[in-house]
Structure 1
């Protein structure tokens, strides 16, 4: 799909085949409820199946829970961006990955925690994993959705937030504390920089050009920084907390900065805790052990290097802090069910 920046507004407002299908379905049920069941009987089942469309009267349920592996294996990238299908039936769901949606034009009804609210042009809502939500769009409004793998979010973006700001607190909490139904809502209104960045991300994603993954990472980093710079004071935060007075951002940033040679003992000493107490603190507040967190950081760095560089496996192994390549290969295969070489062959865009 080739998208022209100058004509993006016309492109994004035009109706796709899926949207035309949903609009006809919506109008048939609204205008002629007495004959709607007969209308459904005439629908092209092959088209519905091929396009993975949701027709409530034909489906008992529709992905009420979406796993990260299943979703991103389908799209073979660490992020996914698309226009929300207008007139598609509203359904509550939750998933293992991050999502944010941006109201490009018009309005939508956003339901989170069972509460409905109207989001208007320029509003941007960040929805972390395990938060039940839905979006309803039954007019010509345009909503753009961006899905991001949690590991990508952690490994790529979290290290940016070294300051005590709204996003660093929110992301560290939702990534590592075991709570649900958290979200952030930014009111960017007519911010043309934010709008333009959303367009750039969309165009780059569907352009499938060389080094696209790296450029998308860069766009998203820039996007978060601009969002904070322009709108840190224009947000609503909905955060369920279970712990108080824990400097998780500082701890996790320290892990990110020192993952190559960090040990539980050195980390505990840095923060002034005994080893047993620090180990328990990390596990209680993140749901993961110190070893699991460091392993995840190292593997995320390895995946990025495999996809974006020509470095040898042994060099990558050394860079991320594994002295034994065999040990690294074993851990990698246990985690991703393929060797580093197989991963590079499958995901590289070099």
Structure 2
């Protein structure tokens, strides 16, 4: 069946066979509990096995770990897209690939490490490998899951960051360091472009047409770029950190705004931490120390000013917080392999 863009909403709302099974199971357990055991006893075990369905009354509670080869059965496949089965029983699972889920309609409940979070329409959640989680949908809400091989995710997501952008450092720490149960949640709300792009991804995946894999990869790149362009300020991060009250994105945004004059002491005071403890938390949660982060922000601002303004290098130094031009030039040349003047000239000529 070919899915049309105009008929997508009607198509995705239709209950598939597995959803009908799960909905019946859900209603039997809650509406007719006295006869539920007899209902389970009469279920077709072969049907359940052939459809890979999960029935807690038969299988018990279990933690499922999915390896990439189990989902990406064809080696060339890099992306798998599915609608989350409504009414499917809750069970905690983890996997070695990346999962992105998008709340297309309604709401859902996302559980990570026994912590429950309510997600609403437009929410996009990015879950790294080895993150124990569960998604619960027990009404007509629609959640679309996008699974990517780890290598595909890294290629698509981190190609966006070509410099030392402070967010790239943050994401890199979340996704690459050996910490688990971290994830990112973007609130895109009624962003119709993101909504439409998710539809395009789903249609392209199930269309199985020529060059689908290449088109899907490019769609995902666009998807990530739009998330960061339009919803960088609508982002929550959930980090496996020893300090639950540290809003690391808030810290990074504060440094982005006050980079010219901020010091470790003033930033620690602003967030009500002692200097040593604040310094330790920054290192633990970003993989970089305060000086490195501040340097990268200032150099990023300097690069922009060199390319997009006619300000003198002396003025740029003062604006970004380096009163000593010689010190600035040394830092710049060490980072980019050329002087600020040469950098400006190379960008203008190109």
Query: Do they fold alike, i.e. is TM over 0.5?
Result: yes
TM normalised by structure 1 equals 0.67
Tell whether the 8 Å contact from 2:186 to 2:234 is kept in structure 1 after alignment: yes
Structure 2 CA distance for partners of 1:13 and 1:164, relative to 1, 3 Å: farther
Tell whether the 8 Å contact from 2:105 to 2:143 is kept in structure 1 after alignment: yes
Structure 2 CA distance for partners of 1:193 and 1:32, relative to 1, 3 Å: same
Give the distance between the partners of 2:139 and 2:149, measured in 1 at CA: 30
**Once superposed, what is the RMSD of the aligned Cα atoms?**
2.3
Structure 2 CA distance for partners of 1:181 and 1:215, relative to 1, 3 Å: same
Q: Secondary structure at the match of 1:73?
A: coil
Match of 1:222 in 2: 222
Give the distance between the partners of 2:54 and 2:115, measured in 1 at CA: 23
CA offset digits 1:311-331 (Å, max 9, x no partner): xxxxxxxxxxxxxxxxxxxxx
Match of 1:27 in 2: 27
Give the distance between the partners of 2:111 and 2:164, measured in 1 at CA: 29
Structure 2 CA distance for partners of 1:150 and 1:166, relative to 1, 3 Å: farther
Tell whether the 8 Å contact from 1:94 to 1:132 is kept in structure 2 after alignment: yes
Tell whether the 8 Å contact from 2:110 to 2:118 is kept in structure 1 after alignment: yes
Q: Secondary structure at the match of 2:58?
A: coil
Give the distance between the partners of 1:190 and 1:182, measured in 2 at CA: 25
Question: Within the alignment, does 1:245 sit opposite 2:271 as a pair?
Answer: no
Structure 2 CA distance for partners of 1:100 and 1:47, relative to 1, 3 Å: same
Give the distance between the partners of 1:120 and 1:165, measured in 2 at CA: 29
Give the distance between the partners of 2:71 and 2:174, measured in 1 at CA: 20
Match of 1:80 in 2: 80
Question: Within the alignment, does 1:159 sit opposite 2:202 as a pair?
Answer: no
Matched positions, count: 252
Structure 2 CA distance for partners of 1:166 and 1:67, relative to 1, 3 Å: farther
Match of 2:127 in 1: 127
Q: Secondary structure at the match of 1:100?
A: strand
CA offset digits 1:238-271 (Å, max 9, x no partner): 12364641679x9xxxxxxxxxxxxxxxxxxx87
Between 41-50 and 25-34, report the one with greater CA deviation.
Answer: 41-50
Q: Secondary structure at the match of 1:46?
A: helix
Quote how far apart the aligned CAs of 1:170 are. 4.4
TM normalised by structure 2 equals 0.67
Give the distance between the partners of 2:188 and 2:157, measured in 1 at CA: 20
Q: Secondary structure at the match of 1:117?
A: strand
Q: Secondary structure at the match of 2:6?
A: helix
Quote how far apart the aligned CAs of 1:157 are. 3.0
Match of 1:56 in 2: 56
Question: Within the alignment, does 1:199 sit opposite 2:242 as a pair?
Answer: no
Quote how far apart the aligned CAs of 1:60 are. 3.7
Match of 1:47 in 2: 47
Between 233-242 and 207-216, report the one with greater CA deviation.
Answer: 233-242
Quote how far apart the aligned CAs of 1:67 are. 1.4
Q: Structure 1: where are the runs of 5+ without partners? A: 251-269, 273-350
Quote how far apart the aligned CAs of 1:112 are. 1.2
Q: Secondary structure at the match of 1:146?
A: strand
Q: Which runs of 4+ in 1 moved over 3 A?
A: 60-63, 163-167, 240-244
Q: Secondary structure at the match of 1:5?
A: coil
Match of 2:68 in 1: 68
Match of 1:91 in 2: 91
Match of 1:257 in 2: none
CA offset digits 1:212-262 (Å, max 9, x no partner): 1100010000010011111000011112364641679x9xxxxxxxxxxxx
Tell whether the 8 Å contact from 1:105 to 1:121 is kept in structure 2 after alignment: yes
Q: Secondary structure at the match of 1:21?
A: helix
